[in-house]
Amino acid sequence: MHLINRRQFLQWSGALGGGIAAGALLPLPSLAQKESLSKGENEEMKWAGCAINCGSKCPLRVFVKEGKITRIETDNTQEDEFGAHQVRACVRGRSSRFKVYNPNRLLYPLKRVGKRGEGKFVRISWEEAIETIAQKLLQVKEKYGNEAIYVNYATGTTGGIMSRCTKGPWARLLAQFGGHLNYYNSYSTAQITDGLKHFYGTSAGSDIANIAHSKLVVMFGNNPVETRMSGGGTGYSYKEALQKSGAKIIHFDPRYSDSMVGACDEWIPIAPGTDAALIAAMAYVMINEDLHDKAFLDRYCVGFSRETLPDSAPENSSYEDYVMGRGEDQTPKTPEWAERITKIPAQTIRRLAKEIATTKPCFIAQGWGAQRQFNGEQSSRAIATLAAMTGNIGMLGGNNGARETSTLSIDPAWLPSKNPIKDSISCFLWTDAILHGEEMTDIKDGVRGTQKLKSSIKFLWNTGGNCLINQHSDSNRTAKILEDETLCEMIVDINIVRTPSNRYADIILPDATHLEQEDFIRASAGYSSDRPYVIYCQKAIEPLGECKGVYEMCTLLAERLGGESFKAEFTEGRTQVEWLEHLWNQTRAKKPELPSFEEMRQRGLYKAPRAKKPKVMFEGFVQNPEANPLKTPSGKIEIYSEELAQKAATWILPEGAKITPLPEFINTKEGPLDPAREQFPLQFFGYHYKGTTHSSFWESAPIREINPHEAWINPMDAKARGIKTGDRVLVFNRFGKIIVTAKVTPKIMPGVSVCHQGGWYKPKNGIDEGGCINTLTTLEPSPIAKGNPQHSILVQIRKV
Ligand SMILES: Nc1nc2c(c(=O)[nH]1)N[C@H]1C(S)=C(S)[C@@H](COP(=O)(O)OP(=O)(O)OC[C@H]3O[C@@H](n4cnc5c(=O)[nH]c(N)nc54)[C@H](O)[C@@H]3O)O[C@H]1N2
Ligand SMILES: Nc1nc2c(c(=O)[nH]1)N[C@H]1C(S)=C(S)[C@@H](COP(=O)(O)OP(=O)(O)OC[C@H]3O[C@@H](n4cnc5c(=O)[nH]c(N)nc54)[C@H](O)[C@@H]3O)O[C@H]1N2
Ligand code: SF4
Ligand SMILES: [Mo]
């Protein structure tokens, strides 16, 4: 069969930036032309990588002349055959020269002189910076204890080892200093991780390459082409597999995403936060028409029918009871019931329920968009229930409803660190922990490792993150919390550029990029589609200005905190490169086929062969459930969860929040049925966009230019408001106001509007002119996972 060629793919996927138009500007070199792209006179080539958290982590070839970066090219090793292909960086990674030589680049340590948030800083020496930090750290430890020290969630250098933002040198140093408050969860996957842990014991799905063996593919809020964009990654693998099987593909998503362009048979727009209602209605059709896989449900699942409910469950509490209207709400979940909530016509629900129930194998998967909602734990479990009802679990070409995952990876060992403190908060609740940490408990706030926190956060580290203000929620409220110096007493921010977050810091430290230091960058499992590789950054240039890598910063701080002996404890006498060698050798001890450290240092990039057969999740369990039980309390798939029934009975929840043992549709605040819709009629959220990785690359002018920051509005909603494409519009709700440019397009369903997340928070006279989506989001967490419901937003939009 003729497969799409590489160039077509890159254009379709937008991996060349901005889709076809930008692709046309960047013709791919033929093999002969490649010669001319090789080194120029006096030019050197060094390997580096893009460690930013788009997940992919692509290799980069950095060309250097007289100590300056002249240009950046992508992986050119191997040919274009899929499976043994090049891992090509997208246009964002290829713009890394703009990251290094950015006018906004931090070059020296800075100290705040104005009020927090005012953005007034002066240059100081490294000695003064380290001295100020050390004094405050010792003071906070003495006065409040180590539990008052916190390393904020951040992802700007997750791919690195010695440069790693949260689990790298800072974590080791602070652990040795007596410990720090931990976090669990991520901003990426809190609700699905917790939801599916209760359902399956894990949130992992099958490799996307299974699609090559599918008859039908059903995606819920899954956008691999835009969010796994590397030319070596899952987006590519997805298109390749679709081509191979020719499977029909259906996407349920409020917006027409890049993954649908050129590869979608049906786009079914669904109102955000309503997937669980859709699944319940599909179950209603399947049960009525006897289409569900009863043998599978009876053998492998708990609680679909009454017969498989645990003894502790009350009467009429099976999923079947809920769907047929015999449960507490006495409401049959008919397609007409679901139409009112999801906005999908009842006819369509009936037709698709039948099609999905009768076409096997069906690859059912969800991205992480449906779960970043107030009821995300419910949506994620409901989508998994569809996979169980149709018996598509554990078979080649099928999937369990989770997001696809790949399992192969080459992870160099991390810097060892052992935090003596076990107290842990959900990473989304750090603003609560600044405000009233001492009141936070296990059953009220999901605190783990202890029943109650000992202290509020008094010392905050933020390395490689913009979550202090931009990527967290309710930016206006968060700003107020950070501005109050009596709450958190010191904030240290380590970045490469000035950001909205580091306006709130007391000390800013300038980091070295991956082009300015030696380090490993690992490809994340789940993004490289079972095509593992590892990059060795060869230090293309010396760090600009007075920038230092975090390991060096930590070494200086260790010496100031505890003299030579503490420094020796931290470094174990190793330089950064000696640590890299030490850690690599540990990895090699387990995988002797890997090249030696010296070879890695020379070659810069190592790619392992692709897996021959795609990973099929729960294959062993389905073959023999007794011998290979799942990691749930019952060892089975828990459609009814006793653990959640227990939490529902004992946890203290905010008003209106609800936990249920079944994956029922729950109406929430900021949700489709919230009475607040009378005032704020549009559902709104910030999707992950090809033009930025979160708020990163926003500072790169050429990248901004080709990727506009726009609010998509459906023509019907636009007409009612007199809005045209290009108009400036005010998007507002009870949390704040942002100004953005409108794009009127049928790619978004009526009643919903979107604007990509990542715009830089820039408040002026009560209006955020940067168009940061988090000016509109709430600080209240989801009920079970205590995760960030950042896609649950209600707004009104008006032309300005
Ligand atoms: N280019 C790029 N790639 C990235 C990132 C980036 O910022 N830019 N970020 C990376 C990171 S850290 C992460 S965590 C991932 C995020 O990956 P995801 O969380 O999967 O990305 P989103 O864009 O938030 O959501 C995916 C899709 O879900 C849809 N959606 C939203 N709400 C709902 C809903 O309630 N139901 C349904 N059915 N669909 C819904 C959205 O319209 C979107 O098309 O992406 C990674 N990759
Ligand atoms: N409303 C809304 N909010 C969201 C999301 C959403 O979907 N909607 N998504 C959430 C998700 S999934 C995530 S993962 C978070 C991500 O939030 P963040 O982790 O804050 O991600 P970025 O905004 O990319 O910020 C990374 C920072 O790292 C810096 N950086 C880059 N390279 C280096 C380096 O070499 N050294 C140092 N020290 N710094 C460097 C960049 O300048 C940037 O400021 O956002 C979350 N916020
Ligand atoms: S796909 Fe992601 S990791 Fe790769 S170059 Fe682009 S932004 Fe960087
Ligand atoms: Mo994320």
Contacts of 63 (CB under 8 A, 6+ apart): 39, 40, 43, 44, 45, 69, 70, 71, 72, 73
Q: Which ligand sits closest to the CA of 227?
A: 1
Dist. CA 523 → ligand 3 center (Å) = 11
What gap in Å lies between CA 355 and CA 349, rounded to an integer? 10
Ligand 1 atom closest to the Cα of residue 692 is 8
DSSP-assigned beta bridge partners for residue 386: none
What gap in Å lies between CA 637 and CA 402, rounded to an integer? 13
Dist. CA 769 → ligand 4 center (Å) = 24
Smallest CA-to-CA distance from 469 within 190, 694, 728, 709 is with: 694
**Atom 34 in ligand 1: residue holding the nearest Cα:** 370
Dist. CA 188 → ligand 4 center (Å) = 4
Q: Spell out which residues have Cβ within 5 A of ligand 4, the ion.
A: 188
DSSP-assigned beta bridge partners for residue 731: 738, 797
DSSP-assigned beta bridge partners for residue 448: 424
Stated pTM of the model: 0.95
Q: Which of 383, 688, 704, 788 to mutate to test the pocket of ligand 1 (most atoms within 8 A of CB)?
A: 688
Find the helix or strand (DSSP H, E) in which 520 lies.
strand 518-522
The whole-number mean pLDDT for each consecutive block of 10 residues of the chain, a chain of 800 residues, reads 34 31 34 54 94 92 97 90 88 94 97 96 98 98 98 95 93 98 98 98 96 98 94 88 96 97 95 98 98 98 98 98 98 98 98 98 98 98 98 98 88 94 98 98 98 98 97 98 98 98 98 98 80 94 98 98 98 98 96 96 92 92 98 98 98 96 97 97 98 94 92 98 98 98 98 98 97 98 98 98
What gap in Å lies between CA 154 and CA 643, rounded to an integer? 30
Left (φ > 0), alpha (ψ -120 to 50) or beta: where does 664 sit?
beta
Placement of tokens 């077509």 in the chain: 8
**What is the predicted pLDDT for the residue at 285?**
98
Q: Which of 16, 227, 378, 707 to mutate to test the pocket of ligand 1 (most atoms within 8 A of CB)?
A: 227
Task: Compute the Cα dihedral for 256, 259, 263, 266 and give only its sign.
Answer: negative
Which tokens sit at 713?
């509005």
What gap in Å lies between CA 53 and CA 239, rounded to an integer? 22
Dist. CA 369 → ligand 1 center (Å) = 4
Dist. CA 68 → ligand 2 center (Å) = 27
Ligand 1 atom closest to the Cα of residue 228 is 47
> What is the CB < 6 Å shell around ligand 3?
50, 52, 54, 56-58, 89-90, 92-93, 229-230, 693
Which tokens sit at 442?
């296990």
Dist. CA 409 → ligand 4 center (Å) = 19
What are the start and end residues of each CATH 2.40.40.20 domain in the chain?
675-799
**Atom 5 in ligand 3: residue holding the nearest Cα:** 93
DSSP 211: G
Smallest CA-to-CA distance from 459 within 129, 143, 117, 149 is with: 149
Dist. CA 54 → ligand 4 center (Å) = 8
Dist. CA 687 → ligand 1 center (Å) = 5
What gap in Å lies between CA 318 and CA 305, rounded to an integer? 5
- 3-state class of 34 per DSSP? helix
- 3-state class of 713 per DSSP? strand
H, E, C per residue of 572-605:
CCCCHHHHHHHHHHHHHHHCCCCCCHHHHHHHCE
Ligand 3 atom closest to the Cα of residue 230 is 1
Contact 540, 46 (CB under 8 A): yes
Ligand 2 atom closest to the Cα of residue 466 is 20
Contact 545, 108 (CB under 8 A): yes
DSSP-assigned beta bridge partners for residue 795: 682
DSSP 732: E
The span from the first CA to the last CA of the chain, in angstroms, equals 53
Dist. CA 692 → ligand 3 center (Å) = 10
What gap in Å lies between CA 341 and CA 666, rounded to an integer? 11
**246, 26, 512, 595 alpha-carbon torsion, rounded to 10°:** 60
Contact 255, 246 (CB under 8 A): no
Percent helix, strand, coil in the chain, to 5, is: 35, 15, 50
Q: Which ligand sits closest to the CA of 707?
A: 1
Q: Which ligand sits closest to the CA of 752?
A: 1
**Residue 545, Cα to own-chain centre: how many angstroms?**
32
Q: Which ligand sits closest to the CA of 492?
A: 2
- 3-state class of 799 per DSSP? strand
The count of other CB atoms within 10 Å of the CB of residue 32 is 7
Q: Which ligand sits closest to the CA of 691?
A: 1
Smallest CA-to-CA distance from 460 within 154, 151, 157, 136 is with: 151
Which tokens sit at 785?
């996972």
Dist. CA 336 → ligand 2 center (Å) = 41
Architecture of domain 675-799: Beta Barrel (2.40)
> What is the CB < 6 Å shell around ligand 2?
52-53, 154-157, 163, 187-188, 372, 463-467, 471, 494-497, 499, 511, 513-514, 686, 688, 693-696, 757, 773-774, 777, 790
**Atom 17 in ligand 1: residue holding the nearest Cα:** 368
Task: Compute the Cα dihedral for 641, 646, 649, 650 and give only its sign.
Answer: negative
Contacts of 729 (CB under 8 A, 6+ apart): 711, 713, 723, 739, 740, 741, 742, 797, 798, 799, 800
Dist. CA 350 → ligand 2 center (Å) = 41
Q: At what angle do helices 275-288 and 376-389 cross, to 10 degrees?
A: 30
Q: Is 354 exposed, middle or buried (0-12, 13-18, 19+ CB in 10 A)?
A: middle
**512, 515, 521, 526 alpha-carbon torsion, rounded to 10°:** 100
- 3-state class of 705 per DSSP? helix
**What is the predicted pLDDT for the residue at 2?**
32
**What is the predicted pLDDT for the residue at 735?**
98
What are the start and end residues of each CATH 3.40.228.10 domain in the chain?
191-405+631-650
**Atom 8 in ligand 3: residue holding the nearest Cα:** 93
Smallest CA-to-CA distance from 20 within 261, 222, 267 is with: 261
DSSP-assigned beta bridge partners for residue 711: 742, 755
Per-residue DSSP letters for 103-139? TTB--S-EEE-SSTTT--EEE--HHHHHHHHHHHHHH
**What is the predicted pLDDT for the residue at 409?**
82
Task: Compute the Cα dihedral for 254, 255, 256, 258 and give only its sign.
Answer: negative
Dist. CA 461 → ligand 2 center (Å) = 15
What gap in Å lies between CA 202 and CA 183, rounded to an integer? 19
What gap in Å lies between CA 38 and CA 539, rounded to an integer? 19
Architecture of domain 191-405+631-650: 3-Layer(aba) Sandwich (3.40)
What amino acid is encoded at 601 in this protein?
R
Q: Which of 102, 104, 514, 695 to mutate to test the pocket of ligand 2 (most atoms within 8 A of CB)?
A: 695
Contact 342, 271 (CB under 8 A): yes
- 3-state class of 67 per DSSP? coil
Q: Which of 186, 373, 496, 793 to mutate to test the pocket of ligand 2 (most atoms within 8 A of CB)?
A: 496
Left (φ > 0), alpha (ψ -120 to 50) or beta: where does 392 sit?
alpha
Ligand 2 atom closest to the Cα of residue 687 is 7
Which tokens sit at 288?
């009525």
**Atom 2 in ligand 2: residue holding the nearest Cα:** 790
Contact 374, 786 (CB under 8 A): no
Q: Which ligand sits closest to the CA of 228?
A: 1
**What is the predicted pLDDT for the residue at 37?**
55
**102, 741, 776, 182 alpha-carbon torsion, rounded to 10°:** -30
Per-residue DSSP letters for 218-275? EEES--HHHHS-STTSHHHHHHHHHHHH--EEEEE-SB--GGGTTS-SEEE---TT-H
What gap in Å lies between CA 343 and CA 526, rounded to an integer? 32
- 3-state class of 281 per DSSP? helix
**Atom 12 in ligand 2: residue holding the nearest Cα:** 188
